[in-house]
Structure 1
Amino acid sequence: MSVSRIATFAHTQQMITASLKVQADMAKVQDQEASGVKSSSLGGLGADAARLLRLNSQSARLTADNAAATDAQSFAQGAYSAVGDISDLATTILSQLSALNSGSSDDSELVSTYASQWLEDLQSMMNADLGGISLFSGEALDGDAVDFSDAGYDPTADPTASDTGYYQGTAKARTYTASDGSTVEISVTADDPAFEKLARALTLLKASPSDADVAQQAYDLVQESISGLGTLQEGLSARVSALQDRIDHNTAKIDILDGLSSDLNGVDLAEAAVKVTQQQTQLETLYSTISRLSSLSLLKYL
């Protein structure tokens, strides 16, 4: 039997095996370069997988917290604006009462008409909602916050006593609860004294428009209401600010966590490009060597 080729089989197989490994390594780096991450699966990260899971979980929790806090902040801002509208109404009422009380003629019919209209306006404002959720009903999800025609509401029975029989909501105000269990009240309830005094003033005025003592009591109640509404707005403003501080703090944490995650699973694109170039050069060298080994023949050397 004649031998026409030099015994290069073993070397050729080694070169092929080496080229396959370089191909696999290059494909991996190319995938990393395209995706920007070291591995699309946790299994490819080895010991870093558990840490990456923890970082991503913390980031996701804070992101969800921020979404809820943003919704809560919008609700609190809505309540703040609505209280401001009611405060504007109360200021108008006070000015009108001052003018009516200073008049010498009997304006009882006009006072009764004004009081009725003001009471309707107040009920409409106190039943304001945001996204279908009542601003002043506490934790109640639907329904109006107040009904001044409720059978249980009659401040004329004792004009000096607080009467919240008109209130249709819950005792507890609506709150935002973070994942760590901390809470922030994001609204006020319509049975607050600031609202009650304004409603009582108008109801008494409507029932006894010609009574000078009632007119004076109504005037005093409206003044107290305006002061109380201002306090409510201050509280809501502070809660809006507190929620913004929480959002900013969470955002800073999220940035840190995402940065750590990127360090664990991120890829230096410039470094990856260099690796791909080096592996391509290495692969071309292996292919050239394999080609030369395959073409060697003993006859050329005889």
Structure 2
Amino acid sequence: MTNRIATFPATERIIVDNMRLQSQLAETQIQLSTGLKSTSYTGIASDSQRLLNVERNYDSLEGFNTNATIIGGNIDIAYNAVKSILDLSNNFLQTLTSAQGGNFLDPQVTRDQGQLLIKEVAGLLNTQSAGRYLFAGSNIDTIPVNLDDPAFTPQTSPSTANTGYYQGNDDKLSAQLSETLSISYNFTANDPAFEQLLRSFNLAINNPSDTAALAESTTLMRSAISGMSNIFAQMSTFARTVENQTMRNEEDLAIMKNVIGNLKGADLAATTVRQKELETQIQASYASSVTILNLKLTDYI
């Protein structure tokens, strides 16, 4: 009893110190195993608000880039569809030229080729991406081109513009690419270039022997090809805008990721050194505990 009473204050202090050192050692072990300063925001209280803000901005940028990926993909698909339509248009332009040239071309050949190509063009204008029609405006669930619509009537020369085949609308689609940049775009199957293209086919199919109709069909086809070149230019502009903003977002994401890592991540080298220091202190503390516990007041009386 004498030795307990005499050494109690020192023993109690050492026990408290040992518990503190054990707690700090456990913290360094967690940091080394997780790579984090703390597994909760309370463990980095002084930086928690900043970390929350950076993480929120990081998530927003990731969302913007998800939008950009979808929009960029849709524009690429639409671009390829128009490219294929342009190839078909140039092919039929050669047929129209032959039909009006000195060499005889059976009108039935003109009609048959026109019927085949107009269906291919309609199919391309009905292109989908992830279940969304790309040339229907905001009516993404509605097939945009229906050549069997009664409103799309057979044409004679001189013809008039007719978008009776179109089932979509003129609404523009928009996408947020960053906090400050939003783009609106609209590639629809009732664009004048596509209307002229389908009317050119219509005239040739229904009037393959009519010189005036074939001449007008040729003029419309050339105008449609020119118009589709303008659509190409617009698509390229939008694609570049999306790509450039995506790159800027990626740069910002990399910076934010580094900031988040610095705020959350532990300095593993420093933590390893700290762990060794704590282990040394704990060993020394335990050694002191043993020494004190072995002391007797009677030894000094």
TM-score, normalising length: structure 2: 0.93
Aligned to 1:271: 270
Distance 2:3 2:72 in 1: 86
Count of residue pairs the alignment pairs up: 301
- Corresponding position: 1:246 with 2:245: yes
> What displacement does 1:260 show?
2.1
The C-alpha deviation readout for 1:55-89, integer Å capped at 9, x for no partner, is 11011101111111111100011111101010010
Is the partner of 1:184 in helix, strand or coil?
strand
- Corresponding position: 1:131 with 2:125: no
Aligned to 1:175: 174
In 2, are the aligned partners of 1:174 and 1:188 still within 8 Å (CA)?
no
Runs of 4+ off more than 4 Å: 2-6, 298-302
RMSD of the alignment, in Å? 2.0
Unaligned runs of at least 5 residues, structure 1: none
Distance 2:287 2:33 in 1: 28
The C-alpha deviation readout for 1:88-113, integer Å capped at 9, x for no partner, is 10011111221222144362222222
Aligned to 1:154: 153
Unaligned runs of at least 5 residues, structure 2: none
Is the partner of 1:39 in helix, strand or coil?
coil
Instruction: Provide closer, same or farther for how the CA distance between residues 295 and 88 of structure 1 changes in structure 2, counting only shifts above 3 A.
Output: same
> What displacement does 1:297 show?
3.3
The C-alpha deviation readout for 1:17-74, integer Å capped at 9, x for no partner, is 1111011111112212222222221122223211111111011101111111111100
Matches within 5 A, 1:1-302: 3=2, 7-105=6-104, 107-154=106-153, 156=155, 159-178=158-177, 180=179, 182-298=181-297
Is the partner of 2:13 in helix, strand or coil?
helix
In 2, are the aligned partners of 1:106 and 1:210 still within 8 Å (CA)?
no
Q: Which moved more, 1:172-181 or 1:137-146?
A: 172-181
In 1, are the aligned partners of 2:171 and 2:186 still within 8 Å (CA)?
no
Instruction: Provide closer, same or farther for how the CA distance between residues 282 and 165 of structure 1 changes in structure 2, counting only shifts above 3 A.
Output: same
Instruction: Provide closer, same or farther for how the CA distance between residues 4 and 144 of structure 1 changes in structure 2, counting only shifts above 3 A.
Output: closer
Given residue 151 of structure 2, which amino acid in structure 1 is its aligned partner?
Answer: G
The C-alpha deviation readout for 1:167-202, integer Å capped at 9, x for no partner, is 111112333234636432455100011111110001
Given residue 129 of structure 2, which amino acid in structure 1 is its aligned partner?
Answer: L
Distance 1:104 1:81 in 2: 34
In 1, are the aligned partners of 2:145 and 2:189 still within 8 Å (CA)?
yes
The C-alpha deviation readout for 1:228-268, integer Å capped at 9, x for no partner, is 11111111111111101111111111222222222222211
Instruction: Provide closer, same or farther for how the CA distance between residues 124 and 9 of structure 1 changes in structure 2, counting only shifts above 3 A.
Output: same
TM-score, normalising length: structure 1: 0.93
In 2, are the aligned partners of 1:72 and 1:186 still within 8 Å (CA)?
no
Is the partner of 2:6 in helix, strand or coil?
coil
Given residue 114 of structure 1, which amino acid in structure 2 is its aligned partner?
Answer: Q
% identity of equivalent residues:
28
Is the partner of 1:156 in helix, strand or coil?
coil
